Amino acid sequence: MKENTDKGTNSNALVEEKGVGKGQSILVIDNYDSFTYNLVHYLEDLGCQVTVKRNDQLRLEEIEAFNKIVLSPGPGIPDEAGLLKEIIAMYAPTKSIFGVCLGQQAIAEVFGGTLVNIDQVYHGIATKIDIIKEDMLFQGMPKTIEVGRYHSWVVNPDLPEVLEATSLDGNGQVMSLRHKTYDVCAVQFHPESVLTPYGKKMLENWINHQ
């Protein structure tokens, strides 16, 4: 089991000045993905105290101690990802949750959405997306941004009533979504990728959102 509880690498003065991540205890659910620690490093740089637990190596009650939850990318589909969907179902009403790639797909399924296996596989491809809803995640960004994509599944755009898309690609595929009631949001792309110039800013916006 990989576990990390170190604080960010930025100076305390810088973190305090920005008010970023200060006092935030964040649990990252590792869905056995090589990108997980890129996310962790971004969060630490933003001043967060980060703990990493693999999706099949934790107990549900352990999660109660954390302020926020990040659902990492990962291979396969949500049903193959340990306790991922159970975590979402149990903590969505009370915790701030941010899903990435597989994390978005799992959130969609938990709330009644379905997935589509697309013809074009995106593996390390940068594309433009259009932000279609005002959302805290995209504050301070233009309406069209470039993002890095690594996936062969997407959320069916026919979303359940409780979810809404906040950005789309040029083909109408859902690139980000949020729950209408709970503090739950997600992106299909990888904010931790170098192909997503605004990725760290998205994480900062999410961390600062109360």
- As annotated, the active-site residues are 101, 190, 192
Give 3's Cβ-side CA count (13 Å radius): 4
> Among all chains, which residue has been given the structure tokens 């900062």?
204
Tokens of 22: 């200060």
User: Nearest to residue 119, comparing CAs of 148, 151, 149, 147?
Assistant: 151
Decide: 163 and 146 in contact? Cβ < 8 Å: no
Tokens of 86: 């159970």
Tokens of 168: 């789309």
Q: How far apart are CA 153 and CA 163, in angstroms?
A: 18
